[in-house]
Homo-oligomer: A and B are copies of this chain.
Amino acid sequence: MSQPAPPLAAIAAALRQERERAGISLAELARRAGLAKSTLSQLENGTGNPSIETLWSLGVALGIPFSRLVEPPSPAVRVVRADEQTRLRADRADFTASLLTAGSIHARRDLYVMELEPGQPREAEAHIPGSIEHVVVAAGRLKAGPAGDTVELDPGDYASFPGDLPHHYEALTPGTWAVLVMEHR
């Protein structure tokens, strides 16, 4: 599986879109970013291959995280019923997780529903560097966190911690389930 596509045109489209959302002219954006109008014009027309510094300054001038200029989107309207979710059962723990929505290529923000029962805790391997996990407990009581630094959470509690270290999920009461947001980058 390789990268989506030569991002030349995607960047061009993203640039124009973000600029128009900001409601500023091409000349104004060029001024704020410290670039020549001509350069920006070429970029928005898909002609040209900007340097990192150039694109970066545009991201700063637009007040957006820069990755938005290189990674495109994808909307939809979906409903996944609790009893229609495809469970991913882990082999070594009483644990299920359901992927509800995945980000674009190499998912950026994946949303899961996670169910656990007391007993064997789930020991998760370290994911790719820079990932962050967010948990909101919906019911039950959950112990979660990086190895050796766990916290106990009640319904409504929220916790986030690095996902690129080995970490731990353990239900303390039956019927525990939680919403899990896996944030990659």
Contact = CB atoms under 8 A, between A and B. Distances in A.
Interface of A: 2-3, 6-8, 11, 21, 49-53, 55-56, 59-60, 63-68, 70-73, 75-83, 85, 100-101, 103-106, 108-109, 111, 113, 128-130, 132, 134, 136, 138-139, 145-146, 149, 151, 153-162, 164, 177, 179, 181, 183-185
Contacts of A11: 52
Copies of this chain present: 2
A129 B82 contact: no
A157 to B, nearest CB: 5
Contacts of A78: 158-161
Contacts of A59: 3
Contacts of A2: 60
The 8 A-B residue pairs whose C-beta atoms are closest, nearest first, are A82-B156, A138-B138, A75-B162, A65-B106, A179-B179, A80-B158, A73-B130, A100-B158
Most buried by B among A60, A71, A128, A160: A160
A139 B136 contact: no
Contact of A139 (B83, B129, B134, B139): B139
A75 B8 contact: no
B75 A132 contact: yes
